[in-house]
Chains A and B, each alone.
Chain A
């Protein structure tokens, strides 16, 4: 399965990468794995996580700390079997078209890493080790309390007792733990080592672009709690006519929303700490942002412009259905991939938003004022919506959304301005009219 080449420069196979997590328990490995998987899937790169702990649980549902003692032969055997099972499933998954597989386990010894490398490289998959190393005892205990005591291993147990047991479990790992290349004899590995939450980072032997993208993304993650605020522009003149795209001014009610937005934002932020405002380059988002406080910095991004509807720009759905009936059908059948004639698809929008996501991961306190399709794509990133779902998410006008990423998932709060606006939502397979979203729909 290694890449095939022939003399005339034709190359066949594509890259497949296995990301092997390394580190003691409670170092945020699963958090990193989960985010990486979400990011890759959002970019349409098939990615999956294989958590060795879950395989082990099938065999030993509520183990005590002793189980993890390396001198416990029975425990050792079971843990090894779990790793085997996880790797086996991952290989099967690669054969069915997987691109980035994440092996989530401690992999804390040189022997174990060597075993994983042999096992996976033998099948033509590139291996990159990602280690999270942390010596800050407070951070570790905080992580244990937050995350680990709610783990399935401790269902129905006293949290303090559970935290203590978990700390002991870690001690068993600490006995044998060896940081990657700590002895200088693992220099042949491709790895990323993040120390004390990003204060220091080492990367070694990164081979190709996809690897460097993953590494760059992981280097940009920070774990401070922050929020991202999303709003569409106020109702526009074209919204009133049910037309898509264009570069129209705000309607009277849209202007009202722009005036009310500062109040809404203040209510949501809870203090006058400034946000950075990102708008598109179109008139309606700039106008919507213009009453925000002077001490907020404002930036225009071309990448935040609305999905380009190509030849259909400025039409109503009815006109599109009449003029391009086949396109209208095709778009409903696969809205994520449908590209307007001479325009863009949702997939295209996601690709152009990637630098924005990278910036969002790095930054704090951003308010984005953009457009329906763009907000849907950003929302899909944070809320892990599938490609089938994301283009249909209702994002009503005159509503501010606050997204707060947490360890496992993102919290959403919405603030309605209570200013009337037309609906710009249209259900799948429905008539070519805007309608009110079905009540079960997301936001």
Chain B
């Protein structure tokens, strides 16, 4: 019997999908890396073991630091030595993919390379099939000059070759250079292959034969929703209620209402300040993007949005965003839980993310429940304020900021902060905005959902991507600070792709 709901089996792979190689197709500056990174973030968050293999990394490793591939490396009629080099690099990368799929229980390998010819792609699919791996090709095809220039500007200009050059000219030069370097590129038309052609960054899609399994469907739906528009997402906690009991679903208490008002003022002031700052930096005097508010259907979140609703903002209640269900252990002390459910405690300590106490939800359950919200979040064009319980914020934040599952149950969202998530190349950035003048008692707020402390492995673990916590409030905070300026949160997951930013492939 499968232990968890998203089909994971004992091997850790999803149940009715086998191993998949997602093979990227497209010239440089087509946003392939952005697609890879977003997809990997989404799939890992869903609990699917995913890894990106950038062929460029292998090329660099092979030619060495500062070395260059021969001029005719990408030519169809390349010299024998270039062909040999190409095959050597490909072989190493493919071997790593197989090793990871076969010996490390990997499920989705994303193979990031140009793959410019139909012959090459057919051979690749055959090769993967021999190893019992299904292949899904994803081509990013761009013929819109504006998008091309934008991509080149954003990503490639930092290369020393273009130092001091006018950005537009550098972009043009860069695109020209790609053309000479890779003279032949055949767009996908291979009827027998499974492929998705994403045209002009999602303006259109062409799907061929993709109805082959569950995961490819999730991937396709995700790609369809992957947004490119710039918009921000704010996270805040709900105010405190008259009663903390999960089932009671109590209304806000007096301090909770005061919080709702202060939070609203802080948020609106912050948005206006950001707008003014943008204007001062030479931006045009455009109106703010519309702001939509999502709350759960729990009373305290609905009421926390009340001041905004009264001002005319649109508030939507989403039942999927209810807090994690604590199950039967909600009111029990740690000692009681240990004596009543010793086996459960043992399992919980082994895997605090997946384990669920009797009739409770695990964080994984919560993530699965929130998945439709994530997709809608990707699609949303307005700015978004999410008012929810800490457990829900943890899961949503972990998706946007690429945190590991080990970290999720421990993320902290003190009530005196609004978290703002800002999209940036490859990974998002976050800021915390201080809500001044709150009663210090309410700040740490939320009692732990299930009162078993998660064993702290942080000593053994390598630094986790994402971040440790928006804010550690464990130590008794000194005098309540009046106001703090917005602070940036460092997203270490960004470092994982930082070298790709200047990558020429």
Contacts of A203 in B (CB 8 A): 204-205, 207, 224
* Chain B residues within an 8 Å CB radius of A354: 372
A201 pairs with B248, CB closer than 8 A: no
Q: A340's closest neighbor in chain B, by CB?
A: B247
- Residues of A near B383 (CB, < 8 A) are 9
Q: Are A215 and B224 in contact (CB under 8 A)?
A: yes
The interface centre, meaning the residue of B210, B214, B224 with most chain A CB atoms within 10 A of its CB, is B224
In chain B between 115 and 148, which residues have their CB closer than 8 angstroms to a CB of chain A?
A: none
Once bound together, how far apart are the Cα atoms of A308 and B380, in whole Å?
A: 30
CB pair A311–B271 under 8 Å, yes or no, is no
Closest to B3 in A: A300
Most buried by A among B5, B375, B380: B5
Query: Contacts of A72 on B, CB cut-off 8 Å?
Result: none
B154 interface residue per 8 A CB criterion: no
Q: Quick one: closest A residue to B381, CB to CB?
A: A208
Distance between Cα atoms of A152 and B72 in the complex (Å): 68
In the complex with contacts A11-B290, A351-B319, A216-B221 CB distance below 8 A: yes
Do the beta carbons of B247 and A342 come within 8 Å of each other? yes
What per-residue 1/0 map shows which CB atoms of A188-209 lie under 8 Å from chain B?
0000000000111111111011
Offer 19 A-B interface pairs, CB within 8 angstroms, sorted by A: A8-B287, A12-B312, A199-B209, A202-B205, A203-B205, A205-B203, A205-B204, A206-B224, A208-B379, A297-B15, A297-B16, A300-B3, A300-B5, A302-B361, A302-B368, A303-B5, A347-B319, A348-B297, A352-B369
Nearest chain-A residue to B356 (Cβ)?
A: A281
Bound complex: CA A11 to CA B225 (Å): 22
Considering only CB atoms, which chain A residue lies closest to B378 in the complex?
A209
Q: Complex formed: what's the CA distance from A199 to B15 in Å? A: 24
Closest 7 CB pairs of A and B: A342-B247, A11-B290, A209-B379, A7-B287, A9-B288, A201-B207, A9-B291
Interfacial chain B residues near A347, Cβ < 8 Å: 319
Contact A12 B314 (CB under 8 A): yes
Q: Which of A198, A209, A341 is close to B248, meaning CB atoms less than 8 Å apart?
A: A341
- A212 CB contacts on chain B under 8 angstroms: 221, 224-225, 375, 379
Cα of A213 to Cα of B268 in the assembled complex, Å: 32
CB-CB contacts below 8 Å: A162-200 with B:
187, 198-200
Q: Which residues from 320 to 358 on chain A have a C-beta closer than 8 Å to any C-beta of chain B?
A: 339, 341-344, 347-348, 351-352, 354-355
Docked pose: A298 CA to B381 CA in angstroms: 39
A115 to chain B, nearest CB (A): 23
Excluding A203-B224, A300-B3, 15 further A-B contacts by CB distance (< 8 Å) are A6-B287, A9-B313, A10-B311, A11-B292, A199-B208, A202-B207, A205-B204, A209-B380, A212-B224, A212-B225, A219-B220, A300-B1, A300-B5, A308-B325, A362-B217
Which of B268, B288, B314, B319 gathers most chain A CB within 10 Å?
A: B319
A18 to chain B, nearest CB (A): 19
**B246 CB-CB contact with A under 8 Å:** yes
Q: From known contacts A199-B209, A220-B217, infer whether A341 and B249 are also in contact, taking CB-CB under 8 Å.
A: yes
List of A residues within 8 angstroms of B292 by Cβ? 11
CB of B209, distance to nearest CB on chain A (Å): 6
B204–A11 touching, CB < 8 Å: no
Are B206 and A9 in touch, CB under 8 angstroms? no
CB contact list, A1-23 vs B, under 8 A = 5-12
CB contacts (< 8 Å) of A313 on chain B: these are: 247
Residues of A within 8 A of B314 (CB): 10-12
The digit string for B436-474, where 1 denotes a CB below 8 A from any CB of A, is 000000000000000000000000000000000000000
Of chain A, the residue at the smallest CB distance from B285 is A7
CB distance from A357 to the nearest CB of B (A): 12
Q: Which residue of B lies closest to A305 (CB)?
A: B359
On chain B, the residues within 8 Å of A276 by CB distance are 16
> B211 to chain A: which residues have CB within 8 Å?
198, 219, 222, 362
CB nearest neighbor in B for A205: B203
Docked-complex contact A310 and B249, CB < 8 angstroms: yes
At the interface, yes or no: B376 with Cβ under 8 Å from chain A? yes
B320 within 8 A of A: yes
Interface residues on B, range: 35 or more
Q: How far is the CA of A189 from the CA of B470 in the complex (A)?
A: 43
Which of chain A's residues have a CB closer than 8 A to the CB of B312?
Answer: 10, 12
A311: chain B residues within 8 A (beta carbon): 247-248
B residues with CB within 8 A of A: 1-5, 7, 15-16, 203-211, 214, 217, 220-221, 224-225, 245-249, 268, 271, 287-292, 297, 311-314, 319-320, 325, 356, 358-359, 361, 365, 368-369, 371-372, 375-376, 379-383
Chain B residue with the shortest CB-CB distance to A7: B287
Across the interface, B319 reaches (CB within 8 A) one of A9, A206, A341, A348, namely: A348
Contacts of B287 in A (CB 8 A): 5-9
Which residues of chain B are within 8 angstroms of A36 by Cβ–Cβ distance? none
Query: Do A299 and B313 have beta carbons less than 8 Å apart?
Result: no
A27 to B369, CA, bound (A): 36
Tell me how far the C-beta of A414 lies from the nearest C-beta in chain B, rounded to whole angstroms.
Answer: 27
A359 near B: Cβ within 8 Å? yes
Closest B residue to A286 by beta carbon equals B1
Interface flags, A109-128, vs B, CB<8A=1, else 0: 00000000000000000000
Chain A residues within 8 Å of B381, by CB: 208
A301 located at the interface, meaning its Cβ lies under 8 Å from any Cβ of chain B in the complex: yes
Question: Contact: B2 with A298, CB < 8 Å?
Answer: yes
A residues within 8 A CB of B16? 276, 297
Q: Is the CB of A342 within 8 A of B206?
A: no
Give min CB distance, B237 to chain A, whole Å: 19
Q: Is the C-beta of A247 less than 8 angstroms from some C-beta in chain B?
A: yes
For B5, the chain A residues whose CB sits under 8 A away are 281, 299-303
**Contact (A10, B320) CB under 8 Å given A202-B207, A342-B246, A362-B217:** no
Residues of chain B contacted by A348 (CB below 8 angstroms): 297, 319
A259-293 vs B, Cβ < 8 Å mask (1 yes, 0 no): 00000000000000000100001100010000000
Chain B nearest CB, measured from A157 CB (Å):
38
Q: How far is the CB of A312 from chain B (nearest CB, A)?
A: 9
Q: Which of A129-184 contact B (CB under 8 A)?
A: none
Q: How far is the CA of A220 from the CA of B3 in the complex (A)?
A: 27
Contacting residue for A300 out of B2, B221, B245, B358, CB 8 A: B2
Alpha-carbon gap, A37 to B263, bound state (A): 41
CB distance from B285 to the nearest CB of A (A): 10
Output the nearest chain A residue to B221 by Cβ-Cβ distance.
A216
Smallest Cβ distance from B425 to chain A, in angstroms? 24
**In whole angstroms, what is the CA distance A205 to B208 when docked?**
18
Q: Which residue of chain A has the shortest Cβ distance to B224 in the bound complex? A: A212
- For residue A10, which residues in chain B have a CB less than 8 angstroms away from its CB? 290-291, 311-314
Contact indicator B208/A200 (Cβ below 8 Å): yes
CB-CB under 8 A from A8, the residues of chain B are 268, 287-288
Residues of B contacting A12 with CB < 8 Å? 312, 314
Report the Cα distance A298→B5, complex, angstroms.
10
Residues of A within 8 A of B319 (CB): 344, 347-348, 351-352
